[in-house]
Amino acid sequence: MSSNNHSHILITGGAGYIGSHTVRFLQEAGLSNLIVLDNLENGHLESIADDAELVVCDLRDKNAIMRLFEERKIESVVHFAGYAYVGESMGDPGKYFENNVYGGLNLLEAMVKNGCKKIVFSSTCSVYGDINSIAKLDEAMVPNPINPYAKSKFMFEELLGWYEKIYGLCYASLAAGAGYGIGERHEPETHLVPLVLRAILDGGEIKIFGDDYPTDDGSCVRDYIHVLDLADAHLKALEYIVRHNKSITVNLGSGRGYSVKELISIAQEIVGKKLNQKIVERRDGDAACLVANNAKAKTLLDWEPKYKIEEIIASAYEWHKKGIK
Ligand SMILES: NC(=O)c1ccc[n+]([C@@H]2O[C@H](COP(=O)([O-])OP(=O)(O)OC[C@H]3O[C@@H](n4cnc5c(N)ncnc54)[C@H](O)[C@@H]3O)[C@@H](O)[C@H]2O)c1
């Protein structure tokens, strides 16, 4: 555990999927002054690196967040905490705005009131909405969220802009595609790679939500990134804003999209087993195609993904095979 006098980096949602991998990644990069903040609603205690300090706290508890910043010296924040299910957000939008916007606002207030002015935000490329199926998402595009999850993430991006203007906050907003690889565990699981692998391993069925999208094979197309590449991008973004004291918005992705059907076929190839597939109705709130243009990430952050789709699926498969579900 770090001492109270040291400056710390706060990782919100650090017990969650991407957050816990990022905590380990930052530690391996030599950062030992980390505090993980998580309410453990969707995070896992055992995912947190042994030597990372955990503060169990909910971002919606305004007083508790303020107290944490008053009591501890926190120099920067990497913000992952929030809800992240498109489908659920279409059924219960208030839940998403309350956590992702109001919770985020409490975080920003506690930061600026206590002199903490650097934040890396894990946003989502779904903020861009349903653009046509050919264009890649670049940062100059005007966001147009089509579900409450994406809208709540975009609203927090807008808050970041105002806090920059008024308080001199410096942020990096990273719009990521779908992050996968080792150790993915969401309850309920709605993400494609773990669903496909579980269905292959358990002999179950995989549902394809719609095959009439304006894409080559009619199924949705996404840009998949390995969770360790995402962690790397968050570290590079933090280093960038600390070094340049300048806010940035950067899209993360491989620049190559894979359709749901393509992904299933690659997974079948890797595992060497066929999977039962069923085409069902489109899911409300899904965009046809989300593929990032990663040119800005390359130039600004010197970041590009190291892992290919086959490695993403293979590492996830190795993990799921061990029966950890
Ligand atoms: N997984 C992806 O493919 C993906 C893609 C793009 C962006 N993102 C973004 O990355 C972030 C993390 O995603 P993930 O897949 O790791 O999700 P996750 O659910 O595994 O992690 C989120 C963590 O935040 C915690 N949390 C939620 N609300 C909280 C609150 N009010 N106070 C404290 N802790 C709270 C949860 O307990 C959980 O540990 C999300 O904000 C998501 O929008 C994820």
Ranges of each domain in the chain: 8-179+223-252, 181-222+255-321
Nearest to 157 by CA among 171, 146, 177: 171
CA-closest residue to ligand 1 atom 18: 16
Q: Is 319 exposed, middle or buried (0-12, 13-18, 19+ CB in 10 A)?
A: middle
Report which ligand 1 atom has the smallest distance to the Cα of 60: 31
Give the distance (Å) from ligand 1 centre to CA of residue 318.
Answer: 23
- 21-69: per-residue pLDDT in tens? 999 999 999 998 999 999 999 998 888 877 889 999 999 999 999 999 9
CA-closest residue to ligand 1 atom 8: 124
Chain-centre distance for alpha carbon 225: 10
Q: Is the pLDDT of residue 302 over 70?
A: yes
Rg over CA atoms, the chain: 19
Task: Choose which residue among 42, 153, 180, 191 to substitute to test ligand 1 binding: the one with the highest number of ligand atoms within 8 A of its C-beta.
Answer: 42
Number of neighbouring beta carbons within 10 Å of residue 140: 8
Given this model, what pLDDT does residue 3 score?
Answer: 43
Give the contacts of 207 (CB within 8 A, at least 6 positions apart): 277, 278, 279, 280
- 176-226: per-residue pLDDT in tens? 876 666 656 666 667 788 888 888 888 888 899 999 999 999 999 989 999
Give the distance (Å) from ligand 1 centre to CA of residue 154.
Answer: 15
Given this model, what pLDDT does residue 324 score?
Answer: 46
Cα distance between residue 126 and residue 315, in whole Å: 25
CA-closest residue to ligand 1 atom 35: 81
Please give the positions annotated as active site. Answer: 149
Given this model, what pLDDT does residue 189 score?
Answer: 67
Give the distance (Å) from ligand 1 centre to CA of residue 82.
Answer: 5
**Residue list, ligand 1 pocket, CB within 6 Å:** 13, 15-19, 38-43, 58-60, 80-82, 84, 99, 103, 122, 124, 153, 176, 178-179, 186
Number of neighbouring beta carbons within 10 Å of residue 71: 10
The CATH superfamily label for domain 8-179+223-252 reads: NAD(P)-binding Rossmann-like Domain (3.40.50.720)
- 63-79: per-residue pLDDT in tens? 999 999 999 999 999 99
Q: How much is the mean pLDDT over the chain? A: 90
Task: Choose which residue among 10, 11, 17 to substitute to test ligand 1 binding: the one with the highest number of ligand atoms within 8 A of its C-beta.
Answer: 17
Give the distance (Å) from ligand 1 centre to CA of residue 150.
Answer: 13
Report which ligand 1 atom has the smallest distance to the Cα of 125: 6
Given this model, what pLDDT does residue 183 score?
Answer: 59
Nearest to 247 by CA among 313, 173, 184: 173
CA-closest residue to ligand 1 atom 7: 124
Task: Choose which residue among 37, 61, 80, 191 to substitute to test ligand 1 binding: the one with the highest number of ligand atoms within 8 A of its C-beta.
Answer: 80
Domain covering 181-222+255-321 assigned CATH 3.30.70.260 in the classification: no
Average pLDDT over residues 137-159: 94
CA-closest residue to ligand 1 atom 43: 84
Give the distance (Å) from ligand 1 centre to CA of residue 186.
Answer: 9
Cα distance between residue 72 and residue 6, in whole Å: 8
Give the distance (Å) from ligand 1 centre to CA of residue 273.
Answer: 31
Given this model, what pLDDT does residue 323 score?
Answer: 62
Give the distance (Å) from ligand 1 centre to CA of residue 163.
Answer: 22
Given this model, what pLDDT does residue 187 score?
Answer: 63
Report which ligand 1 atom has the smallest distance to the Cα of 18: 16
Give the contacts of 270 (CB within 8 A, at least 6 positions apart): 310, 313, 314, 317
Q: What is the largest CA-CA distance in the chain?
A: 58
The single residue listed with the structure tokens 């309410």 is 39
**CB under 8 Å, gap of 24 or more: what pairs does 96-99 form?**
96/148, 96/149, 96/151, 96/152, 97/148, 97/151, 97/152, 97/155, 98/60, 99/59, 99/60, 99/152
CA-closest residue to ligand 1 atom 40: 80
Report which ligand 1 atom has the smallest distance to the Cα of 79: 41
